[in-house]
Amino acid sequence: MNKAWTPDSWRNLPIMQQPQYDDSSVLSSVLSDISKLPPLVFVGEVETLKSKIASAARGDSFILQGGDCAEKFEDCSASVITAKLKILLQMSVVLCYGAKKPIVRIGRIAGQYAKPRSNDTEVVDGVEIPVYRGDIINSYEASQEKRKPDPKRIKQAYLLASATLNYIRALTKGGFADLHNPQNWELEFVSKAPKKDEYQKIVSNIQDAINFMESLGTREDSLHSVEFYTSHEGLLLPMEEALTKYEPAYDAWYNQGAHMLWIGDRTRALDGAHIEYFRGIANPVGLKIGPSANPRDIVATVKALNPNNEAGKVTLIGRFGHDKVKQHLPKFVEAIQQESLNVLWSSDPMHGNASKTESGIKTRDFDSIQSELKDSFAIHKSLGSFLGGIHFELTGEDVTECIGGTAGITADQLELKYETFCDPRLNYSQSLEMALLVSEMLASQK
Ligand code: PEP
Ligand code: CO
């Protein structure tokens, strides 16, 4: 592990979850093409995000990370990007109210195109075909031919990520932040919520605070433009390597395809290729930990990723499940405390809470998601630690993929608007409602 690192040193180690390309010369030429294109992000922004994560790890701010499970190429459109940004921005305003701290927004966006999968193949209409691995690798269309990994998709992914990010930058700098104002929110669901009075109070307090600040003339600055960062799972290492550049000004290597990247629960083997790649880049890195992890390995992995114990570098994202979080989370918190490792603790209440309906549809239950978050806050508090971030799969559209919430989506309704290519996401009102609930959890932390 302590051998010299290079952007391609991961190539000597065992690697999980990669596609097998038929034609390696097409792959090489695509990688060479994208490595010559301008970076998607600037290293100064990456360092700023790292310092913001360090501030969240000190308890001075809070991280909201969210977006699609699998971003689709066809969703690179003004309306879909706007809807995703809108819900994340609105959630951040609600959380800011409860936390009384700045909220740092990080999208699973502009590059969240590669998916780890449980099986290599699936049977569709009696035929066994390769599984869908994300738009950067193959097509969702279920045929032998379309599911073949196509390296040219990597270049398309790069160009679509760049168009997505370009539009995000336009929106966040050009006045889109006006959506801070609850007047622009879709709040019909609040009036139907069992906790209607609490929700209404939060929303009207936010409205008052914004009106007050605007009356003081602060409109031009913080209320009018917002910071927003990008992230994706760093799964497809040939692509990540191609976007990794040395920055003399910082004397460090950066992945310039996203501000932050995370390592999935399935690719975090200590002696594997992913940890080798990630230990060499200066970007902030997330590490997902689920029930199969053990504290000794996670401590060793955090040390490998962050040998200088730099603040802001590592975010540990627990994703245990509502029924397992109490059993697993405490031992990780204690192990990290014992070694005095600098990490930010975040919770992904989505990936441990997957279930299937009787008719076989993948879903997640709003109450289980809420319950894992509640327990995570409480466990940290009881151990003298704290939860400094949350990580969701969500969308700004009115899809029907997760069950529950005031929207009252039932198992029978899932098929009405089930659009995800991978895991089920919270829809607009479920996301906003979850933010209201987390806002209360944050307020009661103090
Ligand atoms: C994901 O974040 O989409 C994912 C696959 O998560 P995990 O690695 O936690 O299973
Ligand atoms: Co997912």
CA of 441 to the centre of ligand 1 (A): 24
pLDDT given for residue 221 in this prediction: 57
Contact present, 360 and 35 (Cβ < 8 Å): no
Task: Name the β-bridge partners of 127.
Answer: 124
What pLDDT was estimated at residue 140? 98
Please work out whether the CB of residue 264 comes within 6 Å of at least one atom of ligand 1: yes
Per-residue pLDDT, 373: 98
Q: Which amino acid is at 125?
A: D
Q: What is the pLDDT at residue 216?
A: 76
pLDDT of residue 2: 62
Residue 415 to residue 406: CA distance in whole angstroms: 18
Q: Hey, which residues does 104 pair with through a beta bridge?
A: 63
Å from CA of 113 to ligand 1 middle = 12
407 in helix, strand or coil? Answer: coil
**Angle, in degrees to the nearest 10, between helices 428-445 and 196-215:** 80
What spacing in Å lies between the alpha carbon of 3 and ligand 2's midpoint? 33
Q: Burial, 114: exposed, middle or buried (Cβ in 10 Å; 0-12, 13-18, 19+)?
A: buried
Round to whole Å and give the CA distance between 186 and 53: 30
Mutation pick for ligand 1 pocket among 16, 65, 68, 69 (CB with most ligand atoms within 8 Å): 69
Q: Is 288 in the pocket of ligand 1 (CB under 6 A)?
A: yes
What's the CA gap between 280 and 186, in Å, rounded? 44
CA-based R_g, the chain, Å: 21
Burial class (CB in 10 A: 0-12, 13-18, 19+), 341: middle
Assigned token pair, 25: 């010369």
The pLDDT assigned to 435 comes to 97
Residues whose CB falls within 8 Å of the CB of residue 341, separated by 6 or more in sequence, listed in order: 299, 302, 303, 306, 309, 314
What's the pLDDT at 234? 98
Q: What's the pTM value of the predicted model, to 2 decimals?
A: 0.97
Nearest ligand to residue 66 Cα: 1
Contact 85, 228 (CB under 8 A): yes
| Phi, psi of 426, deg, nearest 5 | -65, 140
CA distances to 36, 67, 291, 434 from 88, rounded to whole Å, are 32, 8, 28, 12
pLDDT for 219? 55
Q: Please work out whether the CB of residue 69 comes within 6 Å of at least one atom of ligand 1.
A: yes
265 lines ligand 1 (CB under 6 A): yes
**Under 8 Å CB-to-CB from 50, ≥6 apart: which residues?**
282, 283, 284, 310, 312, 313
DSSP 107-156: EE-SS------S-SEEEETTEEEEPP--TTTS-SS-STTTTS--THHHHH
Nearest alpha carbon to residue 110 among 227, 230, 226: 230
How far, in Å, is the centroid of ligand 1 from the Cα of 128? Answer: 24
Atom of ligand 1 nearest to the CA of 288: 9
| DSSP-derived secondary structure letter, 49 | H
Go through 421-435 and write b for each residue having 16 or more CB atoms within 10 A of its CB, e for each that does not. bbbbbbbbbbbbbbb
* pLDDT tens, residue order, the chain (446 aa): 567 999 999 999 999 999 999 999 999 999 999 999 999 999 999 999 999 999 999 999 999 999 999 999 999 999 999 999 999 999 999 999 999 999 999 999 999 999 999 999 999 999 999 999 999 999 999 999 999 999 999 999 999 999 999 999 999 988 887 787 888 888 889 989 999 999 999 999 999 988 888 777 655 556 677 899 999 999 999 999 999 999 999 999 999 999 999 999 999 999 999 999 999 999 999 999 999 999 999 999 999 999 999 999 999 999 999 999 999 999 999 999 999 999 999 999 999 999 999 999 999 999 999 999 999 999 999 999 999 999 999 999 999 999 999 978 999 999 999 999 999 999 999 999 999 999 999 999 87
Q: Whose CA is nearest to atom 3 of ligand 1?
A: 69
The highest-level CATH class for domain 9-444 is alpha beta
Provide the residue count of the chain.
446
Residue 264 CA to ligand 1 centre (angstroms): 5
70 lines ligand 1 (CB under 6 A): no
Sequence-ordered list of residues with C-beta below 8 angstroms from that of 206, at least 6 positions apart, any chain: 93, 94, 97, 182
Mutate to test the pocket of ligand 1, among 71, 233, 301, 421 (most ligand atoms within 8 A of CB): 233
How many angstroms is it from 47 CA to the middle of ligand 2?
27
Tokens of 161: 């990520």
User: What does 211-277 look like in DSSP terms, one character per residue?
Assistant: HHHHHTT-TTTTTT----EEEEE---HHHHHHTEEEETTTTEEEETT-SEEEE-TTS--TTSHHHHH
